[in-house]
Amino acid sequence: MNLTDIKNTYRKLFVVEKAPEDKNKPKDLKKAVKDFWYGKPHEERRLGALYVENTGLYKHREWRGVKDTMYYFNMIWLYNYGHMVTDIMKYGGGTPKALVDFTKGLLRYRWMGQTYLTAIHWFDRGMEGMRGEEMRASAWHYRAMVSETIRQFMEMFASDKKLHGGEASEQWHKNIAHNETVSGSVFYPFRDVLEDIPLEMITYFVSVHVNSHTVLNYIDAAQSIGLPADPCPMCQAEYGLFIEDDYPDYSPVMVTTNEACDGSVATSVLQDWFLNRPLYAMPQPMRYDDPLVQKHCQKEIEGCWKFIEDQFGVKFDWDQYVKYAQSFNKLTEFEWEKWDVDANTNYYPISSVAQALYRIYYSQDGDRPIWHEIDDHVKRIMNKTVKNKIVCFPKTRHRAIAWSCAPLYYSHWTTWAYNCWGINCVINMDSLMFDQYLRTDTYEHALEDLGWFNEKAPMRAMAVGGHEHILSLFDYMERFHCDMVIMYDQLQCKGMQGIHGVFEDEFRKRDIHAIWVPHALPDKRTVSRQEIRGLINDYMTTVMHEEPLDPTLVDFDDSGSW
Partner 1 sequence: MKILGKFIFKLIKIAVFIYGLLFVVFYYDLDGKFMYYIWEPLMIKRFDNMKRPDTTLTPYGMRDNVSEDF
Partner 2 sequence: MKDLVHIFELEDLLQEAANPLVKQARAEGKKALGYTCYFMPEVLLDLPGCFSVRLRAPRSTSPDMATYYMSGRTCMYGRCLLERALEGGYNFLDAQMATETCTVTCRFQEHLQLMDIIQNPDFFCEFTDVPFKKNKNSIEHYASQLQAHVLDKLKEKYDIDTSDEALLKAIEQHNEICRLVTEIGNYRKLDEPTITGWEFSVIMLATLTCPKYLIIDKLRDIAEQLKTRKPDVKKTYRCKVVLSGSEEDDPDFIKLIEECGALVVADRHCYGSLPGREEIVVKEGETPLYAIARHYLETSECPRFMEQHIMRERKDYLAKVAKEYKADGIIISQMKFCEYWSYERTIDTLILPRDYGYPVCSIEKEYVNNAVGQLRTRFQAFVESIELKAIHNKKEGSAG
Q: Binding of partner 2 at residue 290 (CB under 8 A)?
A: yes
CA neighbours closer than 13 Å in the CB half-sphere of residue 468: 4
Residue from the set 47, 144, 227, 241 that interacts with partner 2 by CB under 8 A:
227
Residue from the set 121, 164, 323, 395 that interacts with partner 1 by CB under 8 A:
121
Q: Binding of partner 2 at residue 245 (CB under 8 A)?
A: no
DSSP 210-221: H-TTHHHHHHHH
Q: Binding of partner 1 at residue 279 (CB under 8 A)?
A: yes
**Least distance to partner 1 from the beta carbon of 241, Å?**
10
Among partner 2, partner 1, none, what does residue 94 contact (CB within 5–8 Å per kind)?
none
Residue from the set 18, 467, 508, 510 that interacts with partner 2 by CB under 8 A:
467
Among partner 1, partner 2, none, what does residue 501 contact (CB within 5–8 Å per kind)?
partner 2
519: phi then psi, degrees, rounded to nearest 5: -165, 170
- Distance separating alpha carbons of residues 378 and 287, to the nearest angstrom: 36
Q: Binding of partner 2 at residue 306 (CB under 8 A)?
A: no
Residue type, 281: A
179: left (phi over 0), alpha (psi -120 to 50) or beta: beta
**Least distance to partner 1 from the beta carbon of 428, Å?**
27
Task: Judge if the upstream peptide bond of residue 260 is cis by omega within 30 degrees of 0.
Answer: yes
Distances (CA, A) of 510 to 232, 486, 493, 501: 31, 15, 25, 14
Q: b vs e for 430-442, b when ≥16 Cβ sit within 10 Å of the residue's Cβ?
A: bbbbbebebbbee
Nearer to partner 1, 250 or 562 (CB): 562
Q: Binding of partner 2 at residue 310 (CB under 8 A)?
A: no
Residue from the set 49, 90, 118, 173 that interacts with partner 1 by CB under 8 A:
118
Q: Binding of partner 1 at residue 307 (CB under 8 A)?
A: yes
Among partner 2, partner 1, none, what does residue 469 contact (CB within 5–8 Å per kind)?
none
Residue from the set 93, 94, 96, 303 that interacts with partner 2 by CB under 8 A:
303
Stretch in the footprint of partner 2 (CB under 8 A) among 157-165, 271-279, 334-342, 429-437:
271-279
Q: Binding of partner 2 at residue 313 (CB under 8 A)?
A: no
CB-CB contact of 250 with 155 (8 Å):
yes
SS3 for 422? coil
Q: Binding of partner 1 at residue 502 (CB under 8 A)?
A: no
- Distance separating alpha carbons of residues 118 and 541, to the nearest angstrom: 35
- Distance separating alpha carbons of residues 310 and 306, to the nearest angstrom: 6
Specify the long-range contacts of residues 362-365, CB closer than 8 Å, at least 24 apart: 362/144, 362/148, 362/331, 363/183, 363/331, 363/335, 363/433, 363/434, 364/180, 364/181, 364/183, 364/184, 364/198, 364/201, 364/434, 364/457, 364/458, 365/148, 365/184, 365/198, 365/201
Q: Binding of partner 2 at residue 232 (CB under 8 A)?
A: yes
**Least distance to partner 2 from the beta carbon of 170, Å?**
26
Q: Using CB atoms within 10 Å of the CB of residue 31, give its burial: 0 to 12 exposed, 13 to 18 middle, 19+ buried.
A: exposed
**Least distance to partner 2 from the beta carbon of 429, Å?**
17
Is the Cα dihedral 461, 463, 466, 468 positive or negative?
positive
Residue from the set 49, 75, 84, 120 that interacts with partner 1 by CB under 8 A:
120
Q: Binding of partner 2 at residue 499 (CB under 8 A)?
A: yes
DSSP class of residue 471? T
DSSP class of residue 128? T
Please list every residue from 55 through 84 that binds partner 1, using CB under 8 A: 55, 57-61, 73, 77-78, 81
Q: Binding of partner 2 at residue 251 (CB under 8 A)?
A: no
- Distance separating alpha carbons of residues 397 and 385, to the nearest angstrom: 20
Q: Under the rule (CB under 8 A), what is the footprint of partner 2?
A: 225-228, 230-232, 235, 256, 258, 261-263, 265-270, 272-273, 278-281, 283, 285-287, 290, 292-293, 295-296, 299-300, 303, 464-467, 491-492, 494-495, 497-502, 504
Residues contributing to the site for partner 1 (CB under 8 A):
13-14, 52, 55, 57-61, 73, 77-78, 81, 107, 110, 113-114, 117-118, 120-121, 124, 213, 217, 225, 242-246, 273-274, 276-280, 303-304, 306-307, 310-311, 562
